[in-house]
Amino acid sequence: MNLNCIAVIGAGTMGRGIAQVLAQASREVLLYDADPCAREQGLASIAARLRQQAAKGRLEPAASEAAIAALRGIDQLAAVGTADMVVEAVPERLDLKLAVFAQLGQFAKSEAILASNTSGLDIDALAAESGRSDKVIGMHFFNPPPTMPLVEVVRATATSDETFASVMALAQDLGKTPVAVANSPGFAVNRVLFPMINEAIYALAEGVASAEDIDRVMVLGASHPIGPLALADYVGLDVTLDILESFAQRLDSSKYRPCPLLREMVAQGTLGRKTGRGFFSYS
């Protein structure tokens, strides 16, 4: 299926990045956000990023301007009707995503593919809301989408072969490496990553080493590009806690139980980079 016009729902951290990647791959991109200010800020920040890339010589000025011209804000979800595909990137709350998929089922054209950038929610639940389960799929980009090479592609029970093949081909066309993973909590990357971050927090709480040293040993001894505690600060400690709680509940195992230190820090509003302090301080 030709995916020439793609709508992105949610113009936050991920929606902006995904919209940029799509526009740079010559797709016509429609950007929607429930908050019109976020949508406008999103469009402005993508344009600024693209022009910065051109100024640094990393992108041809003409390519940068063509990508900017390919982006358009829409002020109602109903305007996704011209899109061949929709990528949803609203916050990681099942109730919110279910409501968006119910509306997309109503407003998107019947042959349009509906993809979610969820980090690990159940794609079958989103598919059921949409009224077109065969066209629903997970397309999990990583942060920041313009530079991270991986896309996890998540088939739900009813996802058709055609939908799956179209999304795998699209990811490749975007210059990404698509990897098919099962529709299981956290998919593959987060299922492995977040228990490791949790263990690093337990190690800190139990005095195994300081925060600096836990990250240092993982960089030097395990060849990780960034330590687990700095990564938790980057993701946000509130988001980290939510993900671990959902694993503990959905996978029904105490091995995902969030470390009490993580709970304490979130309760105190120490959330990582976004609040200026987490395991480390940021000015």
142 in contact with ligand NAD (CB under 6 A): yes
Instruction: State the Cα–Cα distance between residues 130 and 10, nearest whole angstrom.
Output: 18
Report residue 113 as tokens: 């593919």
Of the candidate residues 10, 105, 138, 227, the single one contacting ligand NAD (CB under 6 A): 10
Pair type for strands 5-9 and 28-32: parallel
The residue number with the shortest CB distance to ligand NAD is 12
Residue 140: strand pairing partners = 152
- Which one, 90 or 153, has the nearer CB to ligand NAD? 90
Is 190 catalytic? The answer is: yes
- Given 119, 133, 166, 183, which residue is catalytic? 119
Rg of the chain over all Cα atoms, to the nearest angstrom: 19
The 3-state DSSP class for residue 31 equals strand
Of the candidate residues 5, 8, 9, 214, the single one contacting ligand NAD (CB under 6 A): 9
Contacts with ligand NAD by CB under 6 A: the residue count is 24
Q: Is the dihedral of CA 169, 170, 173, 175 positive or negative?
A: negative
Name the one range near ligand NAD by CB under 6 A: 23-31, 89-97, 193-201, 255-263. 89-97
- Which one, 15 or 228, has the nearer CB to ligand NAD? 15
- Which one, 91 or 276, has the nearer CB to ligand NAD? 91
Is 140 catalytic? The answer is: yes
Q: Is 57 exposed, middle or buried (0-12, 13-18, 19+ CB in 10 A)?
A: exposed
Q: Give Cβ neighbours of residue 134 (< 8 Å, ≥ 6 apart).
A: 158, 159, 160, 163
Active site positions, annotated: 119, 140, 152, 190
Residues that bind ligand NAD (CB under 6 A): 9-15, 32-35, 38, 89-92, 96, 100, 117-119, 142-143, 235
